[in-house]
Every structure is written in structure tokens, then in C-alpha cells.
Amino acid sequence: MTIAEIISARSTLAGSRRTGACKAIAIALLLSAPLGLQAKIDANAVYEPVSPTIDQARANILIARQLQFTHFRDLGISDELSGDVFDAYLDYLDGQRIYLSREDIAKFDEVRTKLGSALKTGQLQPGFDIYNLVQQRIIERLKFALNTIDNGLDSLDFSSNERILVDRSEADWEADAKALDELWIKRIKNAVLAQRLNGAEDEDIADTLRRRYEGQLKRAYQARSEDAFQAYMNAFTGMWDPHTSYFSPRTSENFNINMSLSLEGIGAVLQSDNEYTKVVRLVPGGPASKQGELQPADRIVSVAQEGEKPVNVIGWRLDEVVDLIRGPRNSTVTLEVIPANASDETITETIAIKRDEVKLEEQSASKDVIELNRGSKDYRIGVITIPTFYADFQAMQAGDPNYKSTTRDVRQLITELEAEGVEGLVIDLRNNGGGALHEANDLVGLFIDKGPTVQIRNANNDVQVLNDEDPSVAYDGPLVVLTNRMSASASEIFAGAIQDYGRGLVVGSQTFGKGTVQAVRPLNHGQLKITQSKFYRVSGGSTQHKGVIPDIEIPSRIDKSRIGEDALEHALPWDQIEAVPHTRYFDFSGIIDELRKRHEERFATNPEFSLLQQEIDFLERQRETDTVSLNLEERRAQHEQIERTRLTIANARRELQGKEPFDSLEDLEDWQDQQAADPDTTDDELDFIIREGGHIMADMLDLDQKMASILNPQQFAVQAPAAAAR
């Protein structure tokens, strides 16, 4: 969730991905004292089953009513839904299928088809029974792991040809406890191998794993009724769509802190992902975004305060991980993460981030100028980067005539760029996760005379059309809009409108596809965030699920199979309604093939693009790995190959920048640590994708005769044809 989204979240929200029944919760890691290290486990500890409360039962009934009667999706609570809730709940509690066996699942055969009717009437005990069994199995598995470690790592055999499945989310459940024992031996071997390959000694490995499993065991013993209820409700609400979720009173507190913009910390949005805490999105201008190493879909393994040992957070509740990452401004927190592109869960990276305040000015739109020499002609292309759609609502409500907003700032930047003699404009919306809806509407208005910008349809099929009523145009020259997979919500509304009006070209990669609107509704116990409407472009197509497809595509490192609306279970589908009349400024069909041809010819000889493609190919190979070897020698060879590839790619980039190569991977990592300590020293040179946007603009200017219509848009205005009926 971006700053602007947080500001406007009470009316419109945007955001994220879900695994199983896991829900994204906007946690912009705030200032407070961190938790201490986990205590030693009491050998005589006994798991105390949790039970539902009357308040939870009442909240359950209210949630069921809201979902059935006010959600955008018309979905009844049926026997079929009951089975889906059951599967999603197990996915939430044991997504990697490492705790429960087929014998355990069979115990709940009768429950599978009855959860729906029970959830209608607030009968929570079946869900709590499942939760308690899973907690007991977690405790058994962790005790087994600790016992294995205590028997000595030298008892483990690393010379066989065994392999372990990297992702077990689609695997069969193991038959019984004995089969789970065998699986867990493999898991422990895998963890030991990963640390041996990183240079750790067996004594240190045993200590690290022991602390990890003891930490998880402690959390299992400390399970609370609210943990079971939130997990169960989110499995239930997730049947309607991935952005509808239940917030417990504690989670609601964190959410409401975000509403007040108390944003000090690392600036990240997190969610639970089975046993892990996963990064959903980075707040533009925040410490993590500026530091540059933490990425969406990274999973957090441990958290370390300055001068302290890392605390393993696998299996922790989301709110507890957030508390641990919080800390004083200018202090450093170190995260051990499994990178989004890691081939298996044992590959981790350590990232040090200096906590700081997320400053509004660092999220503001900014400008630059690209100077291109194209044979006999030089071009000056303006670039405006918009990290988020923001507005200072407090200043606006107070009547401050100089309040900051995206549209006001961009208007001023356009004026400055035109004074500098730019011939075209590139708007960079990459990684812009959205924000204030009215700012997207107003920003479109800077580039068109007047007209509709977006349609919003509610559950009753009533359609509201937002319009730009201001006939003034801040910029009527040629336009390119850059997008990527992390461009979402308000970014998609702007890019889609520019594309529909023929006002400019969209360049980059397919956007996120977040085309729904949520409202937060209070309950007697916690809150419900519920999807109530859907965005549609002026041409009638929804931005939901499909996003905006660029006119000219540039490959991206981001894995679309893991990040994006179409990667989410139960995401609302793409559809379309009637178009609304709107001006078509230019028909690019006559020149788009030539523009694509020139772009592809440039990239065929561009060393930076070649390097990007090498990275993408490398990441693809990593992602395609479904098993890893438990043989030490084979694993070492694989590890060394990965390390060599990382170093080769890093040094190729250094060479392009005219810098000395790194002698070793350790040198690269030391340099990354130095960058993390002072992210403001990062090289701000315009990246090659922005420059390619400038080249595409120059191509458009080269075709000036065919581009005459966009340079004088009113002369060539036509009415867009109506789209197909709903």
C-alpha cells in the first residue's frame, strides 16, 4: 500500500498477492521498541487447545452476511464452497504439506461439506478443531527436528542421490507419521547443506537450526484463539476475492496506524505466506526502496537488531514480525530473506536497512531530461517519474493554496520542462502501486481537453463515471508512459486512459491488474475489508485481472506467475461494460509496427538489454528448478555455478558503467552492504529503459508527418466506437 493509498484507504484501497488463504495486510513498519530474543522452551510445556469466543461467533455471522449481501461477487454459501474453504484453510495452516498426513486429513472428511452451514451461524468449533490438530502436529514435527539435531549432524548422510521437492504446495499429503519423519530428515539435510555451502561449521549450523525450531515451537505453544479465528475467517473471505479479508483487533490497530501516516521504519508492506512473512510491496521513497536489495515476494527468515544475534521468525505471527522489525529512526535492522527468485528455501541473502521516516517529498514526482544524438539530429526528451499518486489531504482541507499533490506537481514540472525546450514527454509509472483515485482522474486531465477518465461499477451494476471537467490542457505534445508489473490501481487507470484516448503509447510490461475497490467496515470484533466495486476503462474493458497491455513490450525480471492479480486465487475476472464516448486523439495503428521494429533493432544490439535478458534467463532457470539434490558434492557444484553466474552478471553491469569489476562474490556483497549503509549514494543515472522510452519518443518525432494529429489533438478528434455490451 502506498502512502497515497493509505491516505485514501477509507474510500478506495489498492494492493497485492495471496497464497492459499493468506491475506495482504498493509504494515508500513512503524517506530517502537523491538521484541527480545525467544526464550528457551520449557521441556514440560503442554499445548492448550484454543476455543472460540462469543465475540468471534458474532463477528463470524456479521462477516457471512456482509459477504453474501454486499460483496461485488455474487456468491452463495454452499456445500461446494464449504469444501473450498476447507482446502484453503489447510493451505493456510500447512501450505507446504509438511505437518499433516493423509491419516489426519481423513479425520475431517465429514467436516469438509459442513463448514459452510456452520460459518453462516457462527459455529466455529469445527475450524478450531482443525487448527488445534495442526498445532499439535507442528509441535510433534518440531520436536522430531530438535531430536534429530541433538543426535548430531554427522549422523546425516550426504552422499546418496536423494532429492527434495522445492515447492510442496501441490504435492500429495504424506501417508502417515513415518513418511513425515522421512520428509523431515530430508528438510533438515537441505537446511544443513545450505549453511555448509555458505561456510558455516556444523556446530554453528546446529545452533542456528536449534534456535529456529525452538522459536517456532514456542509460537506453537503460545497459539491464541485470535490466531485460529483470523486464519479461519481469511480462508472464508478469500473465497470471494483475494483482497477481501478479516482484520483482528490487533491487526486493525496496525492498519489504523497506517491511516494516520505514522510511517517510520523500513517502508514495506508485508503479508503472511504459510510459515513465512512475505514482502508484498515497498513504499516509494522509503528506506527499503532506496536501499534497493529487498524485493516484492522475498520471504523473511530472520531479523537482527544492531549488535544482536538474528531471531528466526519462521512460523511467527505477522504482527510479531512487524514488532520485531520496528525500531528507532537511524538504527539498522538486518533481514535474512529467501529471495523471490531463489531455487529453494535454503538460499538466503542478508539485507541491512537503516530505519528512517518515509518523507512525502521523496515520493513526489520528479523530472529529468534525456539528451539523445540520433545521427543528424539531437533530441531533448522530458522525463517525469511518479512514484505514487499522492495528495496532502490535511493541507488541502485546511485551505492551504500550496498543498502538494501529484497533479499540481506534475503540472509545474511540465511547465519547467517546456521552458527547457523538451520535444516530447515520458511519464515513468514503474513500481507505482497506485494511490488517491481523484489524483489519477485529475492527472489524465492534464493531457486531454475534457471527458471521462474511468468507470466504477458496484455490486448492483450501477456505473459511476469520473470525468475531467477542466478543458485546459497542460501538455499537448507526444507522450510515452512506462509501466511494469508493479504498476497498479491508479497507475493502471491513468495508463489505460492515455491508451484509450490515443493520447500516447504505453511501453514496458503488463501491469498488475488490480482493478477493484475495497471499503473497511467495522465489526463488533475487528474489521472487514471487503471488495465493493470494480474499475473499467473508458473503452469498457476492466483493468481487473488483465491490467494494461503495453503497446511496446519490454521484458522484466519480475515473475508474472507469482506477482500480479492473475496470479491470485479467486481473483475477480476480467470483463467489460459499455464504452463511454471519448475523444480519440491519434490512431497509432499506422506507425506502431515501425516503432516496434525500430525498438527491437535497438535492443538486438543494446548491451544493457542483452544483460537484462541474461538475468531473466538465469532467473527463469532458477524458477524452473522443482527439486534440489541432497548430495553434498552435487549441491556444491550447483551452488558454485549460481555464485559464478551472479558475479558474472554483476561485473558485466560494472563494465557497462565503466567501473572496476569485483574480484569475488564477497567483494560484491561488501559493496552492497556499503550501499545499504548509505542509500543516498546510489547512482541516480537514468536507467536504460527510461532512455529507451526517450528513443521511442524520438522515433515518434521522426515520423512527424504521421504524428501531426497528436501534436494538434483537437483538429483530429473523433468519437471512440462503443465497446461490446456488458
Domain boundary among 307, 329, 357: 357
Q: Are residues 351 and 404 in the same domain?
A: no
Among the listed residues 368, 500, 559, 699, the single catalytic one is: 500
* Distance between CA atoms of residues 697 and 699, nearest Å: 5
User: Would you call 489 a catalytic residue per the annotation?
Assistant: yes
**What is the largest distance, in Å, between two alpha-carbon atoms of the chain?**
83
Residue 573 falls within a domain, yes or no?
yes
How many residues comprise the chain?
726
Domain boundary among 357, 385, 409: 357
User: Would you call 227 a catalytic residue per the annotation?
Assistant: no
Give me the CATH number covering residue 282.
2.30.42.10
DSSP labels for 645-706? HHHHHHHHHHHHTT-PPPSSHHHHHHHHHHHHH-GGGS--PPPHHHHHHHHHHHHHHHTTTT
Query: Which runs of E-coded beta strand occur in 446-539?
Result: 451-458, 463-468, 479-483, 505-508, 516-522, 527-536
Contact yes or no for 332/554 (Cβ under 8 A):
no
Q: Are residues 601 and 471 in the same domain?
A: yes
Residue 627 falls within a domain, yes or no?
no
Residue 676 falls within a domain, yes or no?
no
Q: Are residues 344 and 400 in the same domain?
A: no
Q: Are residues 349 and 406 in the same domain?
A: no
Residue 530 falls within a domain, yes or no?
yes
Q: Are residues 499 and 588 in the same domain?
A: yes
User: Would you call 42 a catalytic residue per the annotation?
Assistant: no
Q: Are residues 269 and 395 in the same domain?
A: no
List, in sequence order, every residue forming a beta bridge with 268; answer none if it has no partner.
282
Give the domain range for residue 304. 249-357
Q: Strands 451-458, 527-536: parallel, antiparallel or unpaired by DSSP?
A: antiparallel
Residue 587 falls within a domain, yes or no?
yes
Residue 438 falls within a domain, yes or no?
yes
Q: Are residues 409 and 306 in the same domain?
A: no
Domain count, the chain: 3
Among the listed residues 218, 278, 354, 514, the single catalytic one is: 514
**Radius of gyration of the chain from Cα atoms?**
27
Angle, alpha carbons 336-673-671 (nearest 5°): 135
H helix count then E strand count, the chain: 23, 24
* Distance between CA atoms of residues 462 and 359, nearest Å: 39
Contact yes or no for 60/118 (Cβ under 8 A):
no
Give me the CATH number covering residue 376.
3.90.226.10
Residue 6 falls within a domain, yes or no?
no
Q: Are residues 89 and 214 in the same domain?
A: yes
CA dihedral of residues 106, 58, 242, 75 (deg, nearest 10) = 80
User: In order along the chain (726 residues), what is the average pLDDT of each group of 10 residues?
Assistant: 32 34 38 40 82 97 96 93 96 94 94 93 96 97 96 93 92 96 96 89 93 89 93 96 90 47 65 81 81 87 88 82 84 89 74 79 85 89 94 81 90 97 96 91 96 96 95 95 95 98 97 94 94 97 97 91 91 97 92 95 92 88 88 91 88 87 84 65 68 95 64 41 34
> Cα–Cα distances in Å, from 102 out to 19, 107, 177?
22, 9, 9
Residue 661 falls within a domain, yes or no?
no
Give which of 701, 704, 696, 695 is closest to 372, Cα–Cα. 695
Three-class secondary structure of residue 249 per DSSP: helix
What are phi and psi for residue 619, nearest 5 degrees? Answer: -65, -40
Among the listed residues 16, 487, 489, 542, the single catalytic one is: 489
Q: Are residues 444 and 311 in the same domain?
A: no
Q: Are residues 560 and 528 in the same domain?
A: yes
Domain boundary among 288, 323, 357: 357
Which residue matches cell numbers 506507425? 591
Residue 498, pLDDT score: 98
Q: Are residues 253 and 340 in the same domain?
A: yes
Q: Are residues 325 and 457 in the same domain?
A: no
